[in-house]
Structure 1
C-alpha cells in the first residue's frame, strides 16, 4: 500500500499481471511524503512507478517505510543471500530526499539506506503503557535478546532484564534461553519489548521463563507483527503472554489478545 500526502493510491492489475497505477496528479505537491507499507514484492515496483511520476512532475519527496522489507536478511547465514542490501540499493536508486524507517531490525538497514532516519515508536509508547498497567519498582522491562537490548537498553529504564538465546545454526530454532541480566521479583508485571513478532517462539520462551521466576503478568510490545503469529501458540489461552501491543504495519486482524496502537507520521516527520 502507498499513501501520498494522506491519500491512498489505487493500483490495479491488467489481465497479464502488469501494474496499473490510477492517476494521482491532484494530490502532488511541491514537497511530498510517501507512506509505504510492504505486503509483497510487487509493492516495490509500485513504489518505483509512483516515485518516477513524482520526478516527472518536478516534485521532491520523502519516504516513510512502515516496515523495511528484507530487514532480517541483514547478514549471510547458512547460505541465505544478503538480500537486504539489494532492496536498499533499489530504494537508494529512487533518490528520496529522506527515508524514515520505522523500527529497523538492525543498524545495517540505516547503513545501507542513504539519507535514512530510524523511528522507534516503542520508546514513545512504553511510558504510556507502563502508566496504563500501573507499573511499580518491582515490575520489569524485558529485552528478549541482545539485538533488542542494543536498540533499547540505553533508554533510561533501570532494572531492565536481558535474555540470551542460542539457536541451532542449521535450522535457526531456539535451543536454549536464559536471563543474562536483571532479576524478577515475585508477582512482577513484565513488558517484553522488541521490533517484530513472527510466530512468537522467542517470546514464548521468555514468557515461560519469566513465569517460572515468579512473574505474574507478561505483556509484549512490538512495532511489527506478522500474520504468522496466528500459526503459533502465542495467542492461545494458556500462553504466558497476556496481551500483545502492536501496530498495523504488517496486518490488522482482530483478536482478543491483540491491541493495535495507531502509528502516524505527524510526530516524526
Structure 2
C-alpha cells in the first residue's frame, strides 16, 4: 500500500450535512480530528461551476463526497470539476463517494433512439481523473460494469435489517417483506432473508409511463405487517398505491424502507396522506424541510457505513465486510440498542 498520512475528504454542495457527519465518524475511528478540506465550490452568474481548493493535496488520498441528486446536472458537474482540480493539484488518488448515483435509471435502451445515460456518466467520471467509486444501492447492479475503474456498491439492506429488528422486535413473526414490482424481488428477498420473514410481491402493469393500470398482490399478506422495500422513491405514486392495495388485501399495516428518497413533486404530500404508517429512507440525498417535517418519514444515517468504507478503501482492506449485518452492529453502536 502506498504510504499516505491520512485520508482527506472534500465535499460538493449536494449533501454537506452527510459529508460533515462522515468526517465526524471518521474522527471517532481515527482518534484524531478529520475535517473537510477547505475549498469553495461556487457558481458564476451564468451558472458555470468554479472550484478552488485552499489546502495542499499533493500526494494525498482524496475522497470526494458528492451525490448526483437534484439538480442532477449541477451536482454532477461539481463532482467532475472538483476531481479535475484535485488531479491538477497532484493528488495521489481520487475516490468519488457517491451516496446516490443519479442517471442510474437510464441504464439500458428501453426503446429505439434512446441513450444509455448511465454509461455516458460513467465515462465522464473516469475521464475526470476519478480512480475508484464508493456508492450505495445502485439502481441496477450491472452499472458497475459501465465503469473501467473499481466500483464498490454498498447495500442499505444490512442497515435496514438492523432497523427492522429493532422496531419490530416484538412482532417479527407477523412481518412480511414486499417488493413493489417484479424487478425488485431480489432486493426484497435479501432483506426478508436477513430478518427471517416471508416475502410477497405487488405486480403492477402500466398502460403508459407514469400511469399504473393494475396492481395485484402475489403472496399472503392477510393479518401481516407489510414492509415495502425499494431503492428509489421519486413521486411516490407507485409506493402509495401499493400500500393501498396491500391494505385492501388484508394487511394490518404498511411500512416502507427506501434507500434513496428523491421525493420530488407531490411525493411528501402523498406520503403524509397515505395509508402508510411510516416511510424510512437514508440520508444519501439531503432531505428537504418538507421531508424533515413529515410526521411519518424517518431517516436512517449512512455516515457510519460510509466512514468505515472510506477507511477500508484507504487502508486497502475489504469493503465487502460491510455487507454483513453483524459487522454493522458495532459501527451503529447506540442507535439500535434495546
- For the superposition of Structure 1 and Structure 2, which TM-score range results when normalised by the shorter chain? 0.7 to 0.9
Conserved 8 A contact 1:200-1:229: no
| 1:257 maps onto 2:296 in alignment | yes
Q: CA deviation at 1:142?
A: 1.2
Retained in 2: the 8 A contact 1:145–1:162? yes
- 1:164 corresponds to 2:194: no
Partner residue, 2:29: none
What TM-score do you get using the length of structure 2 for normalisation? 0.71
Q: Sort the Cα spacing of 1:266 and 1:22 in 2 relative to 1 into closer, same or farther, 3 A.
A: same
* Structure 1 pair 29–179 and aligned structure 2 pair: CA distance change class (3 A): farther
Q: 5+ residue gaps in structure 1? A: none
Who is 1:49 aligned against? 81
Return the match for 1:146 from 177, 182, 186: 182
Residue 221 of structure 1: how far off its partner (Å) = 0.8
Higher relative contact order (CA 8 A, sep 6+): 2
User: Aligned equivalents of 1:160 and 1:226: distance in 2?
Assistant: 25
C-alpha deviations, 1:107-166, integer Å up to 9, x for none? 232121231121112332223223213332122111111222123424524411122221
How many residues get paired?
265
Judging changes above 3 Å, is the alpha-carbon distance between structure 1 residues 231 and 137 closer, same or farther for their aligned structure 2 residues?
A: closer
How high is the TM-score relative to the length of structure 1? 0.87
Between structures 1 and 2, the one with greater helix share: 2
Q: 2:242 aligns to what SS in structure 1?
A: helix
1:26-175 superposed matches below 5 A:
26=56, 30-38=60-68, 39-40=70-71, 41-59=73-91, 60-78=93-111, 80-113=114-147, 114-134=149-169, 135-155=171-191, 156=193, 157-168=196-207, 170-175=208-213
Cα distance 1:64–1:224, how it changes in 2: closer, same or farther (>3 A)?
same
**Aligned partner (choices 210, 216, 224) of residue 260 of structure 2:** 224
Per-residue CA deviation, residues 10-43 of structure 1 (Å, 9 max, x unaligned), is 3122233332223332567621211112232122
- Is the 2:52–2:85 Cα contact (8 Å) retained in structure 1? no
Distance 2:51 2:272 in 1: 41
Aligned alpha-carbon RMSD (Å):
2.4
